[in-house]
Amino acid sequence: MICRATAHGLLAASVLGLTHLVQAAEKEERIVPAVLTEAIAEGNVAFERKEYQTARNAYNRVLKLEPENLMGLVNLGMVEFYSGHPDKGEELLKKAVRLRLELAPAWLTLGMIYMDRNEPDAALAALSQAMFQDPLNARTRNFLGVVMGRRGWIDAAQNELRRAVELNPSYADAHYNLAVFYLEEKPPAIELARRHYQKAVELGVEKDSRIENLLSTPSKNP
């Protein structure tokens, strides 16, 4: 069975998550040119609307004015990733985390890039760092659980996914993935899988005939 590890919704989260970093930089530098703050604001709005070319142009202006601006580096990196240029995104994001290790959205997006490339060790390292920096992020817990499950660490995967749905009970993909890994147990945890699969469907996930067949199989337990 295939887990759901979609990136939907991450863009807006990154913009909100990095706002305090830009504000901190403003306090440290005392004076920030208005043109810089205007470009950041323009990029943020376009980013949330998924108008990637407009966002790219705005963040490129930010980096021309301030080459090590963290908001510019991280969000431009994410724009490149979502626009189908993961190599460019990786370069920008790695530069950002070299400048400041605590950038959880950058680590999360790097983890997603490595997942797409089927590089589980790199994905696990990046997502673990994202979780360390932001342990209350349900999306990070979901992706980390998927990577762990793909490595065969079923108990660890379940733990992360349970934490994801605790943090966000309406997180459909996490419920779906938790159902998948309950079915990976030996023997499968049918009732737990059914509970989370049904919740995922209620939240909008399309029905999966493979899971439904497994859930309809009579239990062999006495």
All structural domains of the chain, each given as residue ranges with its CATH number in brackets, are 1-100 (1.25.40.10), 135-222 (1.25.40.10)
- What is the band of 17 on the pLDDT scale with cuts at 50, 70, 90? very low
Asked whether the predicted pLDDT for residue 11 surpasses 80, the reply is no
Report pLDDT digits (tens) over 148-182: 999 999 999 999 999 999 999 999 999 999 999 99
Residues 6+ apart with CB under 8 A from 193: 178, 179, 180, 182, 183, 211, 214, 215
Residue 26 confidence (pLDDT): 39
CA 112 and chain centroid, separation: 7
Full 3-state SS string of 93-143: HHHHHHHCCCCHHHHHHHHHHHHHCCCHHHHHHHHHHHHHHCCCCHHHHHH
- What is the band of 118 on the pLDDT scale with cuts at 50, 70, 90? very high
pTM (2 d.p.) = 0.83
Phi and psi based region of residue 187 (left: phi greater than 0; alpha: psi -120 to 50; beta: remaining): beta
* Calpha distance 122→149 (Å, rounded): 15
Residues 6+ apart with CB under 8 A from 169: none
How buried is 156 (Cβ within 10 angstroms: 0-12 exposed, 13-18 middle, 19+ buried)?
A: middle
Q: Decide if 92 contacts 67 (C-beta within 8 A).
A: no
Residue 37 confidence (pLDDT): 87
Asked whether the predicted pLDDT for residue 64 surpasses 60, the reply is yes
Average pLDDT over residues 119-127: 97
Average pLDDT over residues 65-84: 93
